[in-house]
């Protein structure tokens, strides 16, 4: 019989994955009841191709090498094979059908929770899954009682005090394009891969 696991799902394009992503994922993996955090890579939308978005398999490789030494962090390309555009509710259904003994929770930033009521089938998600919310800014803690959608008070929603990371993938891409030093924003293997492939130079 398969052991029951509590798994947190951290969705993103990870273009590229940086230390901010890793610090948040690792913090939640180690300061919650989760057994592991699964970084779910969002696929490229064939109808909205972006020049700066790396091919799916490159972003998958970057995440793999970024977390290879952390047993609590895993990567998933499950959305690559699902219908586009990707809806979190459908991905959750697919995961639950594939791994029925596991419990899946969503990990999201405070800003995403504020707009969560606009997501497809959000009520069904809340019915079946817990949501772990991390702060995006210093003001987030002060604003936790100011949600217009009241989802901050939902019994399935919990807030964590993960470190606030004001690092963005877009900032890193622009810095690379401008030949700026971004050494401490990426792990060494990720920086090496990006450098060898000359990614983001012309984006």
The whole model's pTM is what?
A: 0.93
75 assigned to some structural domain:
yes
Q: What is the pLDDT of residue 145?
A: 63
Q: What is the pLDDT of residue 142?
A: 54
Q: What is the pLDDT of residue 144?
A: 60
What confidence tens digit (pLDDT) does each residue in 128-179 have? Answer: 999 999 988 765 555 566 677 889 899 999 999 999 888 999 999 999 999 9
d(CA 57, CA 167): 23
Domain that holds residue 66: 6-165
78 assigned to some structural domain:
yes
d(CA 102, CA 100): 6
38 assigned to some structural domain:
yes
What confidence tens digit (pLDDT) does each residue in 13-63 have? Answer: 999 999 999 999 999 999 999 999 999 999 986 655 677 899 999 999 999
Please state the domain count of the chain.
1
| Mean pLDDT, residues 72-89 taken together | 94
What confidence tens digit (pLDDT) does each residue in 96-140 have? Answer: 999 999 999 999 999 899 999 999 999 999 999 999 999 887 655
pLDDT at 67 over 90: yes
182 assigned to some structural domain:
no
User: Exposed, middle or buried by CB within 10 Å (0-12, 13-18, 19+), for 119?
Assistant: middle
- Residue 25's beta-bridge partner residues? none
Contact 12, 39 (CB under 8 A): yes
94 assigned to some structural domain:
yes
Q: What is the pLDDT of residue 1?
A: 45
117 assigned to some structural domain:
yes
174 assigned to some structural domain:
no
Contact 116, 149 (CB under 8 A): yes
The full DSSP string for 123-172 is HHHHHH--EEEE-SSTTTTTTTT--TT-GGG-TTEEE--PPP----HHHH
Q: What is the pLDDT of residue 108?
A: 97
d(CA 42, CA 60): 10
The CATH number for 139's domain is: 3.40.50.620
63 assigned to some structural domain:
yes
pLDDT at 80 over 80: yes
Instruction: Report the chain's mean pLDDT, rounded to a whole number.
Output: 91
């Amino acid at each position: 019989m398969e052991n029951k696991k509590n798994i947190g799902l951290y969705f993103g394009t990870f273009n590229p994955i940086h230390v901010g992503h890793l610090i948040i994922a690792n913090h939640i993996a180690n300061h919650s009841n989760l057994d592991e955090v699964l970084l779910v890579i969002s696929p490229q939308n064939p109808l909205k191709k972006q020049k700066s978005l790396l091919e799916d398999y490159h972003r998958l490789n970057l995440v793999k090498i970024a977390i290879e030494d952390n047993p609590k962090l895993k990567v998933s390309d499950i959305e690559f094979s699902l219908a586009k555009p990707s809806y979190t509710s459908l991905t959750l259904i697919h995961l639950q059908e594939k791994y029925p003994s596991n419990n899946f929770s969503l990990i999201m930033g405070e800003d995403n929770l504020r707009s969560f009521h606009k997501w497809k089938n959000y009520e069904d998600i809340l019915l079946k899954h817990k949501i772990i919310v991390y702060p995006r800014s210093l003001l987030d803690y002060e604003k936790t009682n100011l949600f217009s959608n009241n989802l901050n008070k939902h019994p399935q929603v919990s807030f964590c005090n993960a470190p606030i990371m004001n690092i963005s993938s877009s900032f890193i891409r622009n810095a690379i394009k401008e030949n700026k030093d971004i050494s401490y924003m990426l792990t060494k293997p990720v920086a090496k891969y990006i450098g060898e492939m000359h990614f983001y130079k012309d984006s």
